[in-house]
Structure 1
Amino acid sequence: MICAAAVMSACKKDTIKSLYTSTPGVYFDWSDSTGTDASRVDSLVFSFALTPDRLTDTALLPVRISGDRMSKDRYFKLALVDTATTAISGLHFKALETQYTMPADSGMVHVPVYLYANDTALHSKQVRIRIQLVPTSDFTVTDSSYNVAKIIFSNMLTKPTWWDMWGQLGEYSRVKYELFILTTGVTVMTPPADFNNQPAMMYALSTFTSFLQDPFSFVRDHPALDFTLEVTDGGAYNFYKTYSPEKKYLLSPDASGIGYHFHDENGNPI
């Protein structure tokens, strides 16, 4: 019995020792708001279309360690899962770094993945990036259900169900919806019968109508919105945010010689 107890004690010590000396791991920490895994997700999904003044964005991937923190920088790696990635490096996103740093005394870090919306094909399709953690000398990756992250994004802006409820908006087009969001800051309109929100909705409509009727006065009267009108050849103008000159909207003189109009995605006047 004494020998057995000694053996059991030695085994227990070896087990505890192995727990604390084994290489720590890293995993994607997609915790939900309740702190449980009941509704755990492993992806980020969004559209550039709801921020039409931006052609770049950053997805943050939460990477957490399993094990003790250390008072030195450590390194982990990410790799694309090529068979499950439809986005193109350099066109839709910036290539991944060769390695990433887990700073000293840290237990978690958010890895930035830089996304681009320049490809016009994103107006009609989604693309996907699938990324997995891979082992390094500093970290292992043991749980396959926590080592993969997905980023799904597009620049699609489809006609919302509420558009026709507000006849003042007229015929729908993607460009008109983008201009509406840019000038009003509103992405969703509540139904006219919603009397609590009706004043705010009417103000948004009034603001957008004023903009379309006289973009020059709108830009002058709303300097805080950072819009500019840049003259081009033929008496036309480019309308855009001063901090986002890559995304421009053409404003052309009317054929009648009175007033100006924007163009939708098919070249038709708005």
Structure 2
Amino acid sequence: MEKKRTAIIWICCFMLLWSCKKDYQHYSGPEGVYFGVRYDGHINDQDGPYQSSTHIEFMKLGLQQMDLQIPVLITGASKSYDRVFKISVVADSTTAVPAVHYQELNRQYIMPAYSNGCLVPLRLFCAPDLDTIERRLVLQLDETEDFVGAFSSWDPPLDITGHHPAQKFDATRHTIYLNNIMVKPNQWLGSVLENGEEFNALGAFTRRKMDFITERLGVSYADFASPSSMSVIRIGLISQQLSKILIERFNAGDPVLEEDGRLMYAGQVPWKSYVGIPWKK
């Protein structure tokens, strides 16, 4: 009986493998290309295995330029020879400027022989205007003699819970969002009262204050991202050091001002600072 059961299992496995092999041999879909971008190179079940966009935040990266590698994958079997695909910029949807925010694309790219995909390099620049506004760069895969655009209405597969993790999107397009906007980090200890008065260790968060701390104390914006790099004790020490510098500058007749003209604040300074109200000598 045991031998019979084993034989049945082997037959079932053989039939399953043969079925898969047979389906693969009879694949007749179009030979196409699509963007196979995944966050951090991994599948995120909440967003789907392929993403329609990439967000580049230079401030968090601490970079002035970066080389992004964009995965382009194929449908159909690989070939024994190189093939050509093209990527263009969708002008009416793009706000990024060539040579300012990104390096212009090549006229065409090569899908290497015996490969199912490749990485397209794209150099991105942290231009000054990204400090205050976000730019977008929309890329489009164009048809060539070798490839058509695949999955123009990509429906992400079910996630592990049995639900669709993302909305349908066009996998022949990919949008890259660029910014260098500085927002209040998680570990910033300070805020503003209802009357506009700054309080606590560091007071209101401003870009000017963060830049001043980085320049004078060697503390980076990224350091404020998590408790592991910025403890409450460390914040207290930063507040003391910053207060000392601000007091010294004030006593020397060269006070440090915020953009609205108020005195820069830290927890141990003897003055009060109100957002929007300039300091008067």
TM-score range, shorter chain: 0.5 to 0.7
**Equivalent residue of 2:51, what SS?**
coil
Judged with a 3 Å threshold, the aligned counterparts in structure 2 of structure 1 residues 74 and 200 are, in CA distance, closer, same or farther, namely same
Question: Which runs of structure 2 are paired with 1:42-61 in the superposition (5 Å)?
Answer: 42-52=52-62, 54-61=63-70
**% same residue:** 24
**Equivalent residue of 1:98, what SS?**
coil
**Deviation by residue 1:5-51 (Cα, 9 ceiling, x = unmatched):** xxxxxxxxxxx7782xx862111114562579757530011321224
**Equivalent residue of 2:174, what SS?**
strand
RMSD between aligned alpha carbons?
3.8
Aligned length: 206
1:75 aligns with 2:84: yes
Question: Which runs of structure 2 are paired with 1:147-166 in the superposition (5 Å)?
Answer: 147-160=172-185, 163=188, 164=190
Give the gaps of 5 or more residues in structure 2.
1-24, 153-169, 192-198, 265-281
Deviation, structure 1 residue 200: 3.1
Q: In the alignment, which residue of structure 2 is the partner of 1:28?
A: 35
1:105 aligns with 2:114: yes
**Deviation by residue 1:113-171 (Cα, 9 ceiling, x = unmatched):** 2211223x222211111111011222221321210000011111123465326822234
1:183 aligns with 2:191: no
Contact 1:23–1:138 (8 Å) recurs in 2: no
Which residue, 234, 242, 246 being the options, matches 1:203? 234
**Deviation by residue 1:171-217 (Cα, 9 ceiling, x = unmatched):** 42213334657625413255xxxxxx698342355357548867xxx
Which residue, 137, 140, 151 being the options, matches 1:143? 151
**Deviation by residue 1:49-98 (Cα, 9 ceiling, x = unmatched):** 2244x221233322111122234332211001111101111211111111
Q: In the alignment, which residue of structure 2 is the partner of 1:5?
A: none
Matching residue's letter, 2:35:
F
Contact 1:183–1:211 (8 Å) recurs in 2: no
**Between structures 1 and 2, the one with greater strand share:** 1
Greater Cα shift, 144-153 or 54-63: 54-63
Matching residue's letter, 1:41:
Q
Deviation, structure 1 residue 105: 2.6
Matching residue's letter, 1:143:
F
Deviation, structure 1 residue 110: 2.1
Judged with a 3 Å threshold, the aligned counterparts in structure 2 of structure 1 residues 213 and 92 are, in CA distance, closer, same or farther, namely farther
Separation in 1, partners of 2:105, 2:181? 25
Contact 1:93–1:113 (8 Å) recurs in 2: yes
Separation in 1, partners of 2:107, 2:179? 26
Judged with a 3 Å threshold, the aligned counterparts in structure 2 of structure 1 residues 186 and 25 are, in CA distance, closer, same or farther, namely same
Which residue, 41, 46, 51 being the options, matches 1:41? 51
Give the gaps of 5 or more residues in structure 1.
1-15, 191-196, 215-252
Matching residue's letter, 2:117:
M
1:85 aligns with 2:116: no
Separation in 1, partners of 2:171, 2:230? 47
Judged with a 3 Å threshold, the aligned counterparts in structure 2 of structure 1 residues 264 and 36 are, in CA distance, closer, same or farther, namely closer
Separation in 2, partners of 1:267, 1:71? 67
Judged with a 3 Å threshold, the aligned counterparts in structure 2 of structure 1 residues 36 and 176 are, in CA distance, closer, same or farther, namely closer
Matching residue's letter, 2:180:
N
**Equivalent residue of 2:225, what SS?**
coil
Separation in 1, partners of 2:206, 2:132? 13
